[in-house]
Chain A
Amino acid sequence: MQSALFHTTLYISLALCVLGLLWRSSAWFRVRVGPDVRAVTLSQRVGALLRGAASALFSVRVFHILGALFLDVLLLRRLFAKEKLRWLGHLLILAGFTLLLLMHAFEAVVTVKLFPGYESTLAPYLFLRNLFGAMVIVGIALWFFGRWRRRTGLASVRRPMAAAFVALLGFVLVTGYLLEAQKIASPQAFYRMAKRFSGTTDPGELMPLRALWASEFGVAFDDLTEPMTPDVMAKGRQMHDDDCASCHAKPASAFVSYPVSRLLAPLTGFLDKARADIWLLYLHVFACFLGLATLPFTRFFHAVAVPASLLVNASAPNQAFSAAGRASKRALALDACLRCGICDAHCSVAPLARHLGNPYLLPAHKLVATGALANGHLLRSGHENEGFRVAEGAFLCTDCGRCTNDCPAGLDLEDLWQAGRGDLAAAGLPAPAQWVQALPALAWAEALEAAHGQHTASDPDASCAPLSADRRSFSRCVQCQTCTNVCPVVAQSIAAEHRVDLTPQKVMNLLRLGLRDLTLGSRMVWDCATCYQCQENCPEGVRVTDIMCELRALAVHRLGSVRSGRAPS
Chain B
Amino acid sequence: MKYALFLGCKIPSKLPAYELSTRAVLVRLGVTLVDLEFNCCGYPARNVSRDAFVVAAARNLAIAERAGLDVLTPCTCCFGTLRHAIRFLEEDPELRSRVSQALAAEGLAWSGKTEVEHILPVLARTIGVDALSAAVRAPRAGLHVAAQYGCHALRPSNLTRFDNPLAPTIFETLIRLTGATPVDWPRQLDCCGDPLHEANAPLSEHIARAKIADALESGAEAMCTACPHCHLRFDSVQAGAPDPSIRTLLYTQLLGLAMGLDEKSLGL
Contact = CB atoms under 8 A, between A and B. Distances in A.
B40 A533 contact: no
Contacts of A153: 105-106
Given A346-B37, A495-B206, A432 B48 contact: yes
Interface of A: 153, 346-352, 354-356, 392, 395-396, 398-402, 404, 414, 431-434, 437, 463-466, 488-489, 492-493, 495-496, 498, 523, 526-527, 529-533, 535-536, 543, 545-546, 549-550, 552-553, 556-557
B125 interface: no
B55 A351 contact: yes
Contact of A463 (B14, B51, B206): B51
B193 A529 contact: yes
B263 to A, nearest CB: 23
Nearest to A529: B191
B40 A463 contact: no
Contacts of B203: 489, 492-493, 496, 498, 527
Contacts of A526: 199-200
Interface stretch (B152-160, B174-182, B217-225): B152-160
22 contacts: A347-B39, A349-B40, A351-B40, A351-B52, A352-B42, A352-B45, A352-B55, A356-B45, A356-B49, A392-B48, A400-B8, A400-B10, A463-B94, A464-B49, A464-B51, A465-B50, A489-B207, A527-B196, A531-B191, A533-B189, A533-B191, A549-B46
A352 B47 contact: no
A488 B200 contact: no
Nearest to A536: B155
Nearest to B208: A492
Contact of A532 (B10, B59, B152, B196): B152
Contacts of A355: 49, 51-52, 55-56, 102
A400 B13 contact: yes
A545 B52 CA distance: 18
Given A350-B39, A399-B14, 7 more contacts: A396-B45, A433-B47, A463-B51, A496-B206, A529-B207, A535-B156, A553-B49
Interface of B: 8-10, 12-14, 37-40, 42, 44-53, 55-56, 59, 84, 92, 94-95, 98, 102, 105-106, 151-152, 154-157, 165, 189-191, 193, 195-196, 198-200, 202-203, 206-207, 210
B45 A498 contact: no
Q: Which of A346, A498, A527, A536 has the most CB of B within 10 A?
A: A536
B230 to A, nearest CB: 11
B202 A556 contact: no
A550 B47 CA distance: 7
| 6 interchain residue pairs of minimum CB distance | A401-B13, A400-B9, A532-B155, A433-B199, A531-B191, A398-B9
Contacts of A432: 47-48
Contacts of B94: 463
Nearest to A152: B106
A447 to B, nearest CB: 20
A535 B48 contact: no
B59 A351 contact: yes
Given A414-B13, A492-B210, A466 B152 contact: no
B102 A531 contact: no
A400 B165 contact: no
Contacts of B46: 549, 552-553
A492 B46 CA distance: 24
A553 B9 contact: no
A398 to B, nearest CB: 4
Contacts of B98: 463
Contact of A466 (B84, B92, B200, B206): B92
A528 to B, nearest CB: 8
A463 B95 CA distance: 8
A488 B40 contact: no
Nearest to B87: A546
A184 B193 CA distance: 78
